[in-house]
Structure 1
Amino acid sequence: MAQPQPVPLTVAGSLAQAGGIGASENSQAASQAAPKVTSKATAKDAGAMAKGASFRGAYFHVPFCRHKCHYCDFYSFVDTESRELAYVERLEEELQDALEFLTVPIETVFVGGGTPTMLGAELLGRMLSSIRRTLPIASNAEWSVEANPETVNEAVADALAQSGVRRVSLGAQSFNPKLLKALERDHDPASVERAVGLLRRAGIPQVNLDLIFAIPGSTIADWEADLLRALSIGPDHLSAYGLVYEPNTPLTVKLRKGSVTRLPEDEEAEQYEFVVEKLAKSGYERYEISNWSLPEMACRHNILYWENADWWAFGPSAAAHGNGVRWRNIPRLATWLENRPSAPVEEIECLGTDANAGESFMLGLRLMKGMPLERVESLLSCGENAPRRRRSIETFTRDGLLEQVDGHLRLSARGFMIADTVLSTLI
């Protein structure tokens, strides 16, 4: 799915997707100096290391998919062993195990994947009820669930609504059969409208559509048609991501072999500029590099990521962050199922003051509003790279790439187009 994953440094990877942010390079640069723990640690160990964290968000990773798309590098797979019930039962144990660390009300719950709706109505309803019953969820919490259009039926839509889910994110990606085939998506364009209709009738108040542009073989006319059809459905939120060629995915292998041709950078930029202009004219507020919403309908959970706040993560491969410590549960369902009650983690990373400051700039300046000036000054008062970052900010401000507006430092319109240059300098 195109909805952003909880890994804080997995950000947009192409010029058009993020105005130029490169994911893998930034991830490596921000983590090189951070000490890591790779022994047989658990999420409980990580939580103890993150002492003092206020986990305001909760992310749940459901790894099951009906079909593995060849561009996807998230932990997901087609399960031939029918382990959905075992997954939910194991997750219920993990909920109990995390309680001692969840000391403040959880403001956002996000269920991603994979395809969470592959659980079906009964198990998905059970999972959501267990979360609500076990965790200290705020009364006004945002509940979001990802879905692929072909997995939404009347029973699933009703289960989501009855469980208190207020926001569903649908992986539409394109409405062009040729481009869906290029992405190896296995839904037909009409299934998106059907899914949205079912969700609306069930009482889901907010629906997001994920779209992908810069697909091999696409033209600006194709992208315009996709965007216009998406708008005709009336989504409350739109996410538009440039196609990313992640390492070791089948799509990237095809790129290396020459069987897939990447869209030229100028055409990718043209598609990106079109979505920025069209959505502004259509009443959508752009609140982050790749995300737009109707007024008051921005995704609070994703904003929590970009503000580098604290969240706990449940399920195999789910990534968490707390008080400068981040970790990822082991990305193997069988191992996660067998090791209980605390989730086994693949790695714990303790960010130092300097690395945390760099990550905060990289994430916070993705937001249209930018970062509060007092936060900026605080980050510039610590860390060995603070003097370099201060000089960069002064230079970018003088050159019109950064600006101060309403007590915030933010990227200018020009700055968003070369965000990679700006943000990579501040890491």
Structure 2
Amino acid sequence: MSPSTLPDGEPAPADGALPPTALAGQEQRPFAFYVHVPFCRVRCGYCDFNTYTAQELGGGASQSSYADTAVREVALARRVLGDVDRRVETVFLGGGTPTLLPARDLGRMLRAIGDEFGLAADVEVTTEANPDSVDLAYLTELREAGYTRLSFGMQSAVPSVLQVLDRTHDPERVPRAVEWAREAGFDQVSLDLIYGTPGESVADWETSVRAALSCGPDHVSAYALIVEDGTALARQVRRGELPMPDDDDLADKYLLADGLLAGDGLDWYEVSNWARQGSACRHNLLYWKGADWWGVGPGAHSHVGGVRWWNVKHPSAYAQRLGAGESPAHGREVLAPEDQRVERVLLELRLAEGLPRDVLDAEGAAAVPALVADGLLEEASLDGTHLVLTTRGRLLADAVVRDLLP
């Protein structure tokens, strides 16, 4: 939710005001918060997110003051949304490494959201964490502060793969972190994996998936490595020091993971995400279904009522804007109905529950029979109201979308 580059768009107003059309009926729409914490101990070579390794960045931006700045934006959100009560269904802290901040700061940011808007009785509150950034005492404090879900950045269980990714944690730290999470009272624990790292064999990947499953996670995310422009990894590939990920290798590893995860009781609910019954990430589902969310933090993106906006990228500029009583929003776009329809196809087709057929236009609907015949799509209900990717369709999801959005 906070990439290192910002999109084009129209300038956002200094006070952050939204068009009346965005605010109309907002009380009836699901609402969530994303909080971007942009600090890391080490910047990983593959990472394209808006992150910084310095503790003090100048201009009022530092790890020690970050929670204060984020709380100011939460108060701004209340004003911009018209001072209405909107029960928050999910909160997600990402980064960066949110758990580089003291647990009390994470608690303060969550408390501010609850104080301004109110939290749903069954609110899901997630923070990402590196395995080496937490211990039992830290996780216990987080749980007492109201956090309900942890997402650990495991990435791999193979030291040589972690080295290529510039990950610094010991693989043995992962099961201990999960044990501490359980001891602290967390019922929901997710592990994030990456496949396709240069030099990673299929056996290496199987080792990582089995190691993740041995921890007993409730949820697993597995993403193919993408070589992003401007990263250290991209420079290594360009110089010929590392090979580009191979599509056939990525497909083999995806199918391997899908089989192992399903065999352990984790079913896919989104192309890159698997969960045990009742453990799907509700926050991410709100994204994929086009709900409203407010993104707090430098570079964070928000969406309310068909208006999307993004904050200034650098933490110093972010802190200065809020310190001056201004919105940190840098630019925005108002999505036309056709834009919203296209996004529904792009996002909802990725879900196991599928895409409602009536979202397609005439050209997209005309492409469905051939996609079904090719074994890429299937009808998910007796009356054919939803279209779902087959296993092969998940491997070729981008191509399916291109056919549905000619």
> Which residue of structure 2 lines up, in the alignment, with residue 20 of structure 1?
none
Give how far 1:394 is off.
4.1
CA contact (8 A) 1:217 1:263 kept: no
Matches within 5 A, 1:267-306: 267-306=249-288
Picking from 90, 94, 115, the partner of 2:73 is: 94
State yes or no: 1:213 paired with 2:213.
no
TM-score by length of 1: 0.86
Give how far 1:46 is off.
4.1
Picking from 391, 397, 400, the partner of 1:422 is: 400
Give how far 1:416 is off.
1.5
Structure 2 CA distance, aligned partners of 1:424 and 1:342?
41
State yes or no: 1:366 paired with 2:350.
yes
State yes or no: 1:319 paired with 2:301.
yes
AA paired with 1:344?
A: P
Structure 1 CA distance, aligned partners of 2:20 and 2:96?
29
AA paired with 1:78?
A: T
Give how far 1:193 is off.
1.6
AA paired with 2:114?
A: R
Per-residue CA deviation, residues 335-370 of structure 1 (Å, 9 max, x unaligned), is 110112343222201121112111110000100111
Give how far 1:393 is off.
3.0
- How many aligned positions are there? 390
Which region of structure 1 is more displaced relative to structure 2, 389-398 or 218-227?
A: 389-398
Structure 1 CA distance, aligned partners of 2:238 and 2:374?
37
Structure 1 CA distance, aligned partners of 2:262 and 2:163?
29
> Which residue of structure 2 lines up, in the alignment, with residue 353 of structure 1?
337
TM-score by length of 2: 0.90
> Which residue of structure 2 lines up, in the alignment, with residue 136 of structure 1?
118
Structure 1 CA distance, aligned partners of 2:274 and 2:268?
4
Structure 2 CA distance, aligned partners of 1:347 and 1:211?
32
Structure 2 CA distance, aligned partners of 1:400 and 1:222?
30
Identity of aligned residues (%): 38
CA contact (8 A) 2:190 2:219 kept: yes
> Which residue of structure 1 lines up, in the alignment, with residue 210 of structure 2?
228
State yes or no: 1:74 paired with 2:49.
yes
Give how far 1:254 is off.
1.2
Give how far 1:305 is off.
0.9
> Which residue of structure 2 lines up, in the alignment, with residue 246 of structure 1?
228
Structure 2 CA distance, aligned partners of 1:395 and 1:347?
40
> Which residue of structure 2 lines up, in the alignment, with residue 383 of structure 1?
none
Q: Which runs of 5+ in 2 are unaligned?
A: none
AA paired with 1:356?
A: Q
* Greater relative CO, 1 or 2 (CA 8 Å, sep 6+): 1
Classify the secondary structure of the residue corresponding to 1:129: helix
Structure 1 CA distance, aligned partners of 2:39 and 2:111?
19
Q: Which runs of 5+ in 1 are unaligned?
A: 11-23, 381-385
CA contact (8 A) 1:94 1:342 kept: no
Matches within 5 A, 1:8-87: 36-38=9-11, 41-42=13-14, 44-46=16-18, 50-52=22-24, 53=26, 54=29, 56-81=31-56, 83-87=62-66
Matches within 5 A, 1:90-239: 90-100=69-79, 101=81, 103-239=85-221
Per-residue CA deviation, residues 112-142 of structure 1 (Å, 9 max, x unaligned), is 1111101022322222222222222111111
> Which residue of structure 2 lines up, in the alignment, with residue 308 of structure 1?
290
